[in-house]
Amino acid sequence: MGRIVRVGFVQQSNSEDVKANIEKLTDNIKFLAKKGAELIVLPELHNTLYFCQKESVEYFDLAEPIPGPSTEHFSKLAKDQKVVLVTSMFEKRMAGVYHNTAVVFERDGSIAGIYRKMHIPDDPGFYEKFYFTPGDIGFKPIDTSIGRIGVLVCWDQWYPEAARLMALSGAEIIVYPTAIGWDPDDSDDEKDRQLNAWIISQRGHAVANGVFVVSVNRVGYEKNPSDKNTGIIFWGNSFIAGPQGEILCSSGNYDEENCYADIALTRIEKVRRIWPFFRDRRIDAYGDIVKRVID
């Protein structure tokens, strides 16, 4: 089978108690490490509640520098457990400049690289433009001891351009730390449409690029602190998909779960030989893709 990597993810709910959230994450990471996971992925903004439901300058106090207290904790954890660890931070880069940043730790605890979220939403209940400056690193994979990882974050997962650029740069595994859910007032039919669109889009990125995809969401209900709406039910459904879109591991809608699967990175070459999408790309005809609108 060639290069086999055991990949795990943590799907959990959060509370207002940041210390308790981190302790639970720590226990879940240790559990997956004992199961042999070499790469472990955490959800988006995993230390706290999803504070972007409300615009409040007080929430900037949650941001941390990199390096900082959280990176110190997860660095030690990655080293102790000998895993590659993908985390998600509210980064304070300087006064007035904050990012939604993924930090990847190597097995020895060093920072292998970071990715700053590029696509920033601004929807009811997801007021991220108030908090996050768009990323300025671009779509560059991070080299690790288990392979080349293309880290993207939540809203990035809807954009085929982001996944394609990561794959063209050599990413073997695309990971999506995520915090996405339902408006409790939506109908069951609407909830199903949203969830299925989310799953299909990411499985499509795996197929179109011949890569593995790891998408990790949180679960649980989080009340809107502004009382403008009824909050968010984070829909879970974290999964690992192979380069033909096949589901290798998945979790449910509501439960906290630790999930893992073995992936054979050599399958990327095998799949791309029978589905040579990169070979047949008409790069001479795609110039208009960089325009906002084609008139």
Residue-level length of the chain: 295
- Active site annotation includes 223: no
- Active site annotation includes 154: yes
* Long-range CB contacts for residues 109-115, cutoff 8 Å, separation at least 24: 109/75, 109/76, 109/78, 109/79, 110/75, 111/66, 111/67, 111/71, 111/75, 112/84, 112/142, 112/143, 112/144, 113/140, 113/142, 113/143, 113/151, 114/66, 114/142, 115/140, 115/142, 115/151, 115/152, 115/153
Q: Which of 64, 128, 154, 172 is catalytic?
A: 154
Distance CA 30, CA 251 (A): 19
Tell which residue, 59, 43, 48, has the closest CA to residue 19: 48
Element (H, E) at 166: helix 160-168
Q: Which of 52, 64, 106, 117 is catalytic?
A: 117
Query: Contact at 8 Å (CB) between 10 and 259?
Result: no
Distance CA 72, CA 116 (A): 19
Distance CA 173, CA 166 (A): 9
Write phi, then psi, for 25 (nearest 5 degrees): -60, -45
- Active site annotation includes 44: yes
Q: Which of 24, 38, 44, 64 is catalytic?
A: 44
Tell which residue, 68, 26, 22, has the closest CA to residue 45: 22
Q: Give the residue numbers annotated as catalytic, written as ranges.
A: 44, 117, 154
